[in-house]
Structure 1
Amino acid sequence: MSRLKELRSYVDAELSQMIDEEKKISAAAHLYGVSLTATILAKKRGLDSELAAMAGMLHDLYAYKSGTYEDHAHQGAGVARNILEKLDLTTMEETDAICSAIYHHDDKLLVDSPMDELLKDADVIDHCFKDLSKPVKEKEQKRFDALCKELKIQL
């Protein structure tokens, strides 16, 4: 089994424990959506698409499991590290890269490492393109506009 497939199986099992069916569906849609988008962006930007996909699968797992978004990026990075170490899927350097991206993914106004930026961008794409009738969040607008330009998307 591939590393990504093994991680997805783990995440699926974690999400299956959620009681609220609507939240469970929303969580799966978001995590898989960000994972896919991260894969595409990584291919375009010349980054490791498997690590990007893994970061996408884990980036909000803490929030969904805990039921809170308070400090979810920072807390989520620790949870992701524990999962990756438990499953023994990644090297220490790969784990550090994934966890850094998760740790910084909510800092949409700051610029961090290329993998960190990739996860932020994948998250913004998933947030913004899921429902184009909703306004883009103020903290995501500049990044959304830059992504539309990068991807040559006219709205």
Structure 2
Amino acid sequence: MSRLKTLREYVDKELNLLEEEKRTSATTHLYGVSLAATILAKKRGLNEELAAMAAMLHDMYAYKSGSYDDHAHLGADLARKILDDLAITTSAETDIICSAIYHHDDKLVIDSPMDELLKDADVIDHCFKDSSKPIKEKEQKRYENLCKELDL
């Protein structure tokens, strides 16, 4: 079984513990960000599998705890524990994934290429899922840059 499939099975099992409306929202968001991350990784020449894995875990802390307070930083710790327990990544791969998760909410700061990829994939999902919603101020510049990058 592929590592991504193993991780998705774990995530699906965890999300099944949520009430239906939250589970649907969480599943849609995590899979949407994962797809966007895979596409961006291919376009940018980054590791598609690691990008998809980071995306699948990036908001797990918020969904499990019910809180978005410091969810990126606390989520990186949770992701490390999950990846260690599943034993599907090397130490270096775990560091890359956890760094992306740790920084994904810092939309106004520039970090490593994989960190930036996860931020951008998150923005794609936020901004394109429902175009009737206003774009968050902290995501506006990224959204504009993504539209240019993707010729939209």
**Is the TM value for this pair above 0.5?**
yes
The Cα of 1:30 is off from its aligned counterpart by 0.2
Q: Distance in 2 between matches of 1:135 and 1:42?
A: 26
Q: Give percent identity, aligned residues only.
A: 75
The Cα of 1:140 is off from its aligned counterpart by 0.2
Give the match's secondary structure for 1:119.
Answer: helix
TM-score (norm 2): 0.99
Q: Distance in 2 between matches of 1:24 and 1:88?
A: 25
Q: Distance in 2 between matches of 1:52 and 1:133?
A: 28
Hey, which bits of structure 1, 4+ residues long, moved more than 2 A?
Answer: none
For these two proteins, the number of residue pairs brought into alignment is 152
- Listed as ranges, the matches of 1:74-89 within 5 Å are 74-89=73-88
Match of 1:11 in 2: 11
Give the match's secondary structure for 1:69.
Answer: coil
* 1:94-118 Cα shifts (integer Å, max 9, x gaps): 0000000000000000000000000
Match of 2:52 in 1: 53
Match of 1:149 in 2: 148
- Structure 1 residues not aligned, in runs of 5+: none
The Cα of 1:27 is off from its aligned counterpart by 0.1
* 1:63-109 Cα shifts (integer Å, max 9, x gaps): 00100000000000000000000000000000000000000000000
Match of 1:70 in 2: 69
